[in-house]
């Protein structure tokens, strides 16, 4: 990983390595089960699994950006946004990513990319309308830290197996999971594949959620230390969270599938289990920023 001036986080690195280890183990288990059950087509299984993994790794950033409505903009089209990114990249000593805007009233931001050279940072029009310059820089610094620490790439890869297992599970359920199948062995094979996929999906989901919550706290910390203005990031967090609560539910549901990549979640009700949340609570994030402000001697 190219060195930047973002504060390193060994806790994040160890969690990313652990997550990738278990995700890789699960991937081997899934492919192994499919190879054993589909003996006559094991080569096809391996080729398809490999192709899907490569496609997910190389094209996931484009897929994510397209899905979230990101549109790349030039400095002439968005001078203030580009100016903020330029300043932060110079401060962090990192390559400038592509800059994009998503037409959405939901105030949010996200970053994509498998590395610093192939990254994009995007802000919604709702975010740009609502934040002051210092607050916007705090949010952008948060997103740039995801790129610098490469946790965006890890999250993309980690989520791949869960998505694949989910597709297999839904396909099996929709097809009747072997019902009316005269071949008893084929029916049993389908049931085993479905059961393994359900377990893999659940484990993958929990692993990515655990990593996602920690990486958000890590990005908050790195952004606050880089800019030296934790209070600006705290103000942005409070403002964004409060404004999201006023957005129509229909619009929030469109954004919800991408919660793990957003600066703030579309839904993060207290009634939801902490174990299932993609982000730490607002109180946790503000408490951390408050401690950083005290360490820096800033109000």
Give the active site residues: 143
Does the annotation list 142 as a binding residue? yes
CB within 8 A of 127, min separation 6: which ones?
Answer: 107, 108, 109, 136, 139, 240, 263
Does the annotation list 149 as a binding residue? no
* Interatomic CA distance for residues 180 and 129, integer angstroms: 57
Does the annotation list 216 as a binding residue? yes
Burial class of residue 295 (count of CB atoms within 10 Å of its CB; 0-12, 13-18, 19+): exposed
Q: Which residue positions form the known binding site for Zn(2+)?
A: 142, 146, 216
């Amino acid at each position: 990983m190219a060195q930047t001036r973002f504060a390193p986080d060994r806790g994040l690195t160890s969690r990313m390595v652990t997550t990738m280890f278990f995700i890789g183990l699960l991937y081997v288990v899934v492919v192994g089960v499919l190879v054993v059950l589909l003996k006559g087509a094991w080569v096809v299984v391996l080729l398809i699994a490999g192709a899907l993994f490569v496609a997910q790794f190389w094209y996931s950033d484009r897929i994510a950006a397209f899905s979230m409505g990101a549109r790349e903009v030039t400095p002439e089209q968005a001078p203030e946004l580009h100016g903020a990114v330029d300043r932060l990249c110079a401060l962090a000593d990192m390559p400038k990513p592509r800059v994009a805007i998503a037409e959405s009233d939901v105030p949010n931001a996200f970053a994509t990319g498998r590395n610093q050279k192939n990254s994009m940072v995007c802000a919604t029009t709702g975010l740009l309308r609502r934040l002051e310059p210092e607050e916007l820089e705090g949010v952008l610094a948060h997103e740039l830290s995801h790129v610098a620490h490469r946790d965006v790439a890890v999250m993309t890869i980690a989520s791949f197996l869960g998505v694949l297992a989910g597709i297999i599970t839904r396909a099996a359920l929709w097809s009747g999971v072997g019902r009316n199948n005269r071949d008893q062995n084929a029916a049993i094979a389908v049931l085993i594949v479905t059961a393994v996929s359900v377990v893999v999906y659940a484990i993958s989901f929990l692993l990515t959620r655990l990593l996602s919550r920690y990486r958000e706290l890590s990005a908050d910390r790195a952004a606050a230390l880089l800019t030296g203005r934790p209070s600006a990031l705290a103000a942005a967090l409070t403002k964004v969270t409060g404004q999201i609560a006023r957005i129509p539910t229909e619009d929030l549901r469109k954004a919800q599938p991408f919660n793990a990549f957003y600066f703030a979640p579309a839904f993060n009700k207290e009634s939801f289990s902490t174990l299932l949340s993609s982000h730490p609570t607002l109180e946790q994030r503000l408490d951390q920023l408050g401690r950083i402000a005290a360490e820096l001697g800033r109000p």
